[in-house]
Structure 1
Amino acid sequence: MTAITTYPCPTCQKPATWTDNPSRPFCSERCKLIDLGAWASEDYKIATQDTPFSDELSENQH
């Protein structure tokens, strides 16, 4: 018998299975939609030292 491996859901941290889980890596469709909503409302940000189009601004100033 094979043990079922679980991973913490990225949204709620409850155990989520990878196999036969249409919402993976989330534990449920609800957690999947919560995460999608966070992306849509720009709650997740990736840090950068550059501002958008900063290379274009510096070229135009010369």
Structure 2
Amino acid sequence: MDSQTRPKIVRCPQCGGDSVYATSNLYRPFCSERCKNVDFGAWASETFRVPTEAPPESELFGDPKLQ
């Protein structure tokens, strides 16, 4: 088999297991429906977030000295 006929194997972003990255895998890049749903649930519940610091209060509403 050459590299064009062999499906690419990637790491499942949820469980870390092997996942076939090809059109035959309906859940790609995940390895299974379960891993896809667990990941989706984490996004829906806002478990995955970009950490930020709250801006100073003057930036929230504009600096009153400048108005």
Shorter chain as denominator, the TM-score bin is 0.7 to 0.9
Report the counterpart of residue 6 of structure 2 in structure 1. Answer: 3
Question: Percent of pairs identical after alignment?
Answer: 41
TM-score, with length taken from structure 2: 0.71
The two structures have a TM-score, normalised by structure 1, of 0.76
In the TM superposition, residue 13 of structure 1 has moved relative to its aligned partner by: 0.6
Question: Which runs of 5 or more structure 1 residues have no equivalent in the other structure?
Answer: none
Task: Name the SS for the 1:11 alignment partner.
Answer: coil
**Which of 1 and 2 has greater Rg?**
2
Deviation at 1:46, TM superposition (A): 0.5
Instruction: In structure 2, list runs of 5 or more residues that go unmatched.
Output: none
Matches within 5 A, 1:1-62: 1=1, 2-19=5-22, 20-51=24-55, 55-57=59-61, 59=62, 61-62=63-64
Misfit runs of 4+, over 3 Å: none
TM-align CA RMSD: 1.9
